[in-house]
Amino acid sequence: MLEELFSSLGLDRDQTSIYFHLLENGSATAGVLAKKIPVPRATLYYMLQQLTDKGIIIRSLKFGVRTFTAQHPQKIMQLFQQKVDLYSQQREKFKLLMPELEHKMAKHYFRPTFQIYEGEQGIQNALRDTILYRDVETLSFWPLKVMTEIAPPAFFDYLNRERVAANNSLRALWPENYTDIDLKKFHFFGASKELKRTVRIAPAGIDWSMGYMVYANKVLFISSRHEMFAFIVESADLAAVQRVQFEFMWQQSKQLVRK
């Protein structure tokens, strides 16, 4: 997990190892680090320079000997905040350019009608597509227990907050085994006016392991964790067919009763 976090600051595994060695053992010279970090001496010097430039470590000179010291973890927290602030500023600037970019988009611009995604990160990217729109209704044929296994709760919490912020309502169909899930832990899957979500429970005996979501003129299909893939089909005809099927099942289903 720590390697993943530090990689977002542009650090590779060896650079992360240097930081943690200095954090745990105190200041050290390049010579001492060379014995601990299995990389060529020239590469080590280059990495130390990069870490210094990024503000991850401090370089100092004591009695003519150059030493390196890890920055306090609070400094690393500040670096993360700087990145958040920078991306936030860049996002706002890009948002201002959106009308111009959309105007420049060629009328014959080709939009893929089929996209496939693999692995946990791929599925998360596919789900993010559902929050690219505003003021739309999403229909979700959602095997709740299965879907909670394809991504961490924090991601679904984020996805839900973004959906609500975009004013996108959602109607969800769950199988009756939804009671196997602790809805207090997954509170963001709840049904309420604030969450802009209405839930019904499918008739007894109807269960499924692959979910789908219909939004705009797209249908997103998501497999179970066993197969870990998703695909999006952009087709007004397919979206219309899936809506008809969803509405039929919706009429046969019962409102979620809060306990």
| CATH classification at residue 251 | 3.30.870.10
| Cα 239 versus chain centre, distance | 25
Alpha carbon distance 187, 86 (integer Å): 31
The phi and psi torsions of 255 (rounded to 5 degrees) equal -60, 140
Q: pLDDT band for 147, please (50, 70, 90 cuts).
A: confident
Can you give the length of the chain in residues?
259
Task: Output the CA torsion sign for 132, 135, 139, 145.
Answer: positive
Within-domain flag for 105:
no
User: In the 8-state DSSP scheme, what is residue 192?
Assistant: B
Same domain, 123 and 224: yes
* Total number of domains constituting the chain: 2
The predicted model gives 98-107 an average pLDDT of 76
The predicted model gives 161-190 an average pLDDT of 86
Which residue among 16, 48, 72 closes a domain? Answer: 72
C-alpha closest to that of 173 among 134, 135, 117, 214: 214
Q: pLDDT band for 159, please (50, 70, 90 cuts).
A: very high
Helices 13-25 and 41-54: angle between axes, nearest 10 degrees = 80
Please, which residues bridge with residue 115 across strands?
A: 232
Range of the domain at 221: 114-255
Please, which residues bridge with residue 246 across strands?
A: none
**Residue pLDDT, tens place only, 108-119:** 555 658 899 999
The predicted model gives 2-21 an average pLDDT of 84
Whether pLDDT at 233 is above 90: yes
